[in-house]
Amino acid sequence: DWTPEHILEELLRGVQERVGGERVLLAVSGGVDSSTLALLLAKSGVDHLAVFVDHGLLRLGEREEVEGALRALGVNLLVVDAKARFLKALKGVEDPEEKRRRIGHTFVEVFQEVARSQGPFRFLAQGTLYPDVIESAGEKGAAKIKSHHNVGGLPEDLGFELLEPFRLLFKDEVRELALLLGLPDPLRLRHPFPGPGLAVRILGEVTEERLEILRRADDLFTSLLKEWGLYDQVAQALAVLTPLRSVGVAGDERRYGHVLALRAVTTEDFMTADWARLPLEFLDEAARRITQKVPEVGRVVYDITAKPPATIEWE
């Protein structure tokens, strides 16, 4: 019978047999799939290098959390600080698809430089799951709504042999493997986060200042969801910084602050989604806390649009 223990054993044996004494390179994003893959490689004992590209579009404390957890579990991790490079690539860019394109392009560039300077590597490991395999088979010719960029999206012609141990698994099974391999719960049960990160949650140009505002607001929203025991009841929760400014009062002065949108959704498969009926008391506290602790935000709104017609992200 296919218990998670049994699957793990099979995967470990498969990796050891295929890789032998060769070297494996992989990119980790902090998401469950790539983190679990890194742990699998570490546990299998093969010679590996996990690369975490810090594009500066991460959530508060995310890099440190991933770094700490993976290193503690024996992953050979290289963190590349590429913040300045990504910000430069995004300078002046407002179009969502152009943002994704530039981020994807910069990511591949940085990753290839690492591959060259740390190489040679025979294998490139990717955390491709069964639904990704199906989806990309079905995607050919179909109109795509967004050009998803993520670390599983490295081009196939980088000159490596692909190692995709999870290609027959579903997300739930990877979460079970993650549990067996010791991935801490906050990482294991974390909501999905887009590869282009906070860049697609800032409408308009991405700047360091806007990133900082969004990062703080996002952290307050997420922390509050956890405090209220609501985090695990929604599939994804996010904050979006809009380029709108609205008027408010601070003391006896008029002040223009950012309009920040909060969104939380329930969904089975992320193809369709409904907005989460969060308690009004919760929303009230979120708005108060965010405007108090992030004074650049003047107004907080809650998104009550389903997918379709809206998407989960705002860009």
Instruction: Report the nearest approach of ligand XMP to the CB of residue 148 (Å).
Output: 4
Instruction: Report the nearest approach of ligand XMP to the CB of residue 308 (Å).
Output: 9
Q: Which is nearer to ligand XMP, 170 or 256 (CB)?
A: 170
Is 307 among the residues that bind ligand XMP (CB under 6 A)? yes
Per the structure block, which two tokens stand in for 103? 């981020």
Q: Which is nearer to ligand XMP, 16 or 272 (CB)?
A: 272
Q: Is 35 assigned to a binding site?
A: yes
Binding residue for ligand XMP, selected from 149, 201, 215, 258, defined by CB under 6 A: 149
Binding residue for ligand XMP, selected from 130, 228, 270, 282, defined by CB under 6 A: 270
Q: Give, as ranges, the residues between 274 and 303 that touch ligand XMP (CB under 6 A).
A: none
Binding residue for ligand XMP, selected from 150, 169, 224, 291, defined by CB under 6 A: 150
The answer for 20, left when phi > 0, alpha when psi is -120 to 50, beta otherwise, is: left
Is 148 among the residues that bind ligand XMP (CB under 6 A)? yes
Binding residue for ligand XMP, selected from 36, 128, 236, 291, defined by CB under 6 A: 236
Q: Which stretch binds ligand XMP (CB under 6 A): 86-94, 132-140, 144-152, 256-264?
A: 144-152
Is 100 among the residues that bind ligand XMP (CB under 6 A)? yes
Q: Is 246 assigned to a binding site?
A: no
Calpha distance 233→231 (Å, rounded): 5
**Residue from 136, 132, 130, 135 nearest 173 by CA:** 130
Q: Which is nearer to ligand XMP, 171 or 255 (CB)?
A: 171
Q: Which stretch binds ligand XMP (CB under 6 A): 15-23, 41-49, 115-123, 192-200?
A: 192-200
Instruction: Report the nearest approach of ligand XMP to the CB of residue 274 (Å).
Output: 12
Q: Is 56 assigned to a binding site?
A: no
Binding site for ligand XMP (CB under 6 A): 100, 146, 148-150, 192, 194-196, 236, 270, 307, 311-313
Q: Return binding residues.
A: 29-35
Known binding-site residues for ATP equal 29-35
